Amino acid sequence: MKKQETNIKKICSFYVNQWHLATMTLPHINETINKGTQIITLLQKGIENNIYELISKMNLKTETKDKILSINWTSNTIIKYPTIEKNIIKQLKTDNDVEIIINGNNEYIEIMNKNIDKTLNKNQKRIKNKKINIINCYEITQFDDITDILNKHNLLLNTSGINEINNVFNQYNQEAVNK
């Protein structure tokens, strides 16, 4: 799915290790859950232990902690299309918006995104009135140049939340790259 001005947003994020990923995403997840958004995770590298430890040290309502801990933070092998479609459709049947968080190497993220895109394209009526965020989290140490990744996304998630890419990377100019 190409970047587009729709209710579907592709968001990228970069992390240096599993602890960084957990500490960066947790404040965003807390805010997202409190808005009633459904969370789906597709994690090549699980962060379950990191999330449990961080949650135990945070001052959150019990209800919020329970919701965060009920998310699947464990690692998954590449999940085949029928399973992804089933999980996404289950979430789309609710009245809530959906956020899908993916972490892993570039190949894993690309495969998961193709399966997600195929599901969303087949279910246009169900997603019409929903806000859907797909957050692709890349381990930064695997890349020398992140320009290609930035070009495939609308926004960026970092420790300060979701931002316009140009606001984080001042030298990045998507229009110049696309010409």
Under the banding of pLDDT at 50, 70 and 90, the label for residue 141 is confident
SS (H, E, C) the chain: CCCCCCCEEEEEEEECCHHHHHHHHHHHHHHHHHCCCEEEEEECCCCHHHHHHHHHHCCCCHHHHHHHHCCCCCCCCCCCHHHHHHHHHHHHCCCCCEEEEEEECHHHHHHHHHHHHHHHHHCHHHHCCCCEEEEEEEEHHHCCCCHHHHHCCCEEEECCEEEEHHHHCCCCCHHHHHC
Could you tell me the pTM of the whole model?
0.88
pLDDT digits (tens, 9 = 90+) for 75-131: 988 888 888 888 888 888 888 899 999 999 899 999 999 999 999 999 888 888 889
Cα-trace Rg, the chain = 16
Number of domains within the chain: 1
pLDDT: is 5 or 16 the higher one?
Answer: 16
pLDDT digits (tens, 9 = 90+) for 36-75: 999 999 999 999 999 999 999 999 999 999 999 999 999 9
Question: How many residues does this entry show for the chain?
Answer: 179
Confidence at residue 83, expressed as pLDDT on a 0 to 100 scale: 87
Q: Within a domain: residue 2? A: no
Under the banding of pLDDT at 50, 70 and 90, the label for residue 168 is confident
Q: Within a domain: residue 71? A: yes
Q: Within a domain: residue 142? A: yes
What angle do the packed helices 18-34 and 48-57 form, to 10 degrees? 60
Q: Within a domain: residue 34? A: yes
Q: What is the CATH number of the domain that holds 70?
A: 3.40.50
Residue-number span of the structural domain to which 34 is assigned: 8-178
Inform me whether the pLDDT recorded for 1 exceeds 60: no
Inform me whether the pLDDT recorded for 145 exceeds 90: no
